[in-house]
Chain A
């Protein structure tokens, strides 16, 4: 028998984070919530007398699978926000109805089932190993093949063959000059050391901020400052004095 408190904790730990699948906008948040669900499930396994499986769950899901998800998320862009507005007509309501109906139906059916609970069989690693490598040894072999095939398949799928010869620096530079772009480096940002200089554009000799000097990424994130404040300081001798006086 399972401790009811443990059960309710596990239930809360799995159901609530898993709802983020439906409501969270950012994929990263979902992934982190699912990690929690996996941990909760591992706890459930341990509670159900399957400690080996609980450990495997932690290792495989939280340790490997979810990390893989996170890698892929990084690869395709963490910042992708999803618009939750439905585009297919009727998909949301029919989908909710079907999924909810399925859940409600299963719950109602299972709730009516009363099975006599047998003596607990604890799935210690040595017990599992005996079953796995005696009765199911052939399945293990086949699964080995499956994993190798999957690994090779993933390599093949993600391998991008080079279609054109690699461009050298010389070629890149020539192309840049040909189209009339600035042939030299962009100016460095942040002439004033008082701030985190990376987010402040440099000023040209006339005192105008040079927008190109700031990293594009920071601009997209709206984490830059426009530099007007510093120009004002330049033109205001009083403030300049206080600076000097310090």
Chain B
């Protein structure tokens, strides 16, 4: 099965192409082709996983050579796949969650006339995402990286007849491109200083490279990760990306694609090992984003945007863990997996709610849905408990480990990072509880024409499966550090480090903060009445509602100066560059005008020139003894 991993990419890609080209005749069966393609990836992935379990941990990195890709002089690159525990984790996550969301989408998108195209895009995404995680070189990874970016763009703008949705798609695309520039520069640096872009060579050469080189590569990779994973300062696209259909938000903008940045950082561990400054930057970005996302999440009334803010914040946790170095890599991926389950589950729950509420997304018009949508309530509730980090649900096992790891270290760093993680846990508890209570508890604040109802089984079954995962996956994987041991061939074995505070104290502190957050949220949104329109609020709330003015900041810091810079450059181009070229052309014209006179059209003149030249040549030949 390990050698068949290329099927993981080929099958969904082929299915995607078929669905795109088949036209309307594929309408009756197209979505099932999509589901089958996605399901087959899970089967292949599972087979490969079982085969890998049978191997010793040292032999679990399996290289699949596909073809010679760029046979060019110094850059000689083969396209190949690297199947190791890390990529296998992603394969299972992407194919499993992806398949569930495919099934969910069959029902969710039932009334959309372009359902087959939607599935074509979803399959394209699955193919690209699997290529991203399976690639054995940065360049092939980049192909997948761009592929998921394209799929994300297409799916955010799936309903592009609404201008604001099309704009959101464009925004995501443009912001992602900024991150891509980071990855391109990183690859250029690798090629220039390490001589290759494939993982094997780069990681073998990395320890010998200078700290400055590795720091530069690390920071550019961080830029790439920030773009893809919506981390500060490139976080602005994620909220708007919720314009896409909800299954897309669940699959791409919560569970898989946005975590590609974390994958990139963890995969590049050997580079960060030699660049402590870049590593610290990763952790700092993660810590800052997790608080920022949590603050934004506290004020959002749009259920999907609140979840998007939460995603941002949770990925901040992962980046923080990834920035801690080998101590945190395993926990970053662990949290990524559990988050993939519970956040996807909650997004599907949100989709289910919207399905029942005629696409209403304002939580102020929800309330008391627990009676109308019991299954959704329970599954969402399990996700809620998981993200809160209540033992024994999944989030507890992964998030608490990150908080613990953040407190490891010396000097001020553990107190800052750990403090941010701890506060973030409390804030998370508050805004997730606020979301949960506003949606499912309190009084009904529905508009008159809304008659909430439970979604069909094809939607609830995936939600149930994900909810089960949210509840127990963490426990299963955390027992005996199974997950960390599984990832050891990639992340390396790490001795246990003692945090600056005792572990029980940290757990207790976390749980107290979480309980506090839940209690405040209950007092405000569960027990009390929630106004149907957002009340006037303090400056800080307004800031949070407006995503911390991220768009205004971007406009003031980048767009306006950029516009002026461009105008200046255009002027300079016309006044200096063009003028110089014009003057030069003029000079050449005048030279030509002068030289032209030698071409007088008189054959005898030409003959004279020839003869004079002949005399000169003969004299040179004879006298020079040539």
Contacts and interface: CB of A to CB of B under 8 A. Distances in A.
A101 B622 CA distance: 14
A84 to B, nearest CB: 14
Interface stretch (B285-293, B380-388, B479-487, B602-610): B602-610
B53 interface: no
* Chain B: number of interface residues, binned into ranges: 10 to 19
Given A88-B604, A91-B604, A91-B605, A98 B619 contact: no
B611 interface: yes
Contact of B614 (A88, A91, A95, A102): A102
Interface in A73-95: 88, 91, 94-95
B485 to A, nearest CB: 85
Contacts of A150: none
A109 B620 CA distance: 13
Interface string B44-61: 000000000000000000
B618 interface: yes
B606 to A, nearest CB: 11
Interface in A51-110: 88, 91, 94-95, 98-99, 101-102, 105-106, 109
Nearest to B613: A98
A72 B370 CA distance: 116
B608 A94 contact: yes
B617 to A, nearest CB: 11
Contacts of A101: 615
Interface in A191-227: none
A109 B622 contact: yes
Nearest to B622: A109
A140 B622 CA distance: 33
B1 to A, nearest CB: 72
B612 A105 contact: no
A109 B615 CA distance: 13
A91 B602 CA distance: 11
Interface string B502-524: 00000000000000000000000
A99 B611 contact: yes
A88 B612 contact: no
A98 B614 CA distance: 9
Contacts of A94: 608, 612
Interface string A104-121: 011001000000000000
Contact of B618 (A88, A99, A102): A102
Given A88-B602, A105-B615, A95 B622 contact: no
Nearest to B611: A98
Nearest to A86: B604
A99 B615 CA distance: 9
Interface in B405-433: none
Contacts of B622: 105, 109
A186 B242 CA distance: 110
B624 to A, nearest CB: 13
Given A88-B602, A109-B622, A102 B608 contact: no
A91 B608 CA distance: 8
A95 B25 CA distance: 86
Contact of A98 (B600, B602, B605, B615): B615
A56 B508 CA distance: 123
Contacts of A91: 604-605, 608
Nearest to A102: B615
B608 to A, nearest CB: 5
A102 B611 contact: yes
A94 B619 CA distance: 17
A106 B612 CA distance: 14
A7 B622 CA distance: 27
Given A105-B618, A105-B619, A109-B622, A98 B604 contact: no
Nearest to B602: A88
B619 to A, nearest CB: 7
B605 A88 contact: yes
A95 B609 CA distance: 9
Contacts of B618: 102, 105-106
Contacts of B602: 88
Interface string B584-612: 00000000000000001010110010011
Contacts of B608: 91, 94-95, 98
B549 to A, nearest CB: 80
Contacts of B614: 102
Contacts of A99: 611
B394 to A, nearest CB: 92
A95 B614 CA distance: 13
B609 to A, nearest CB: 10
A105 B617 CA distance: 12
Contacts of A106: 618
A109 B619 CA distance: 10
A98 B618 CA distance: 12
Interface of A: 88, 91, 94-95, 98-99, 101-102, 105-106, 109
Given A99-B611, A102-B611, A102-B615, 5 more contacts: A88-B600, A88-B605, A95-B611, A98-B611, A102-B618
**Cβ-closest 8 pairs across A and B:** A98-B611, A102-B615, A98-B612, A95-B608, A98-B615, A88-B602, A109-B622, A101-B615
12 contacts: A88-B600, A88-B602, A88-B605, A91-B604, A91-B605, A91-B608, A95-B604, A95-B608, A95-B611, A99-B611, A102-B611, A106-B618
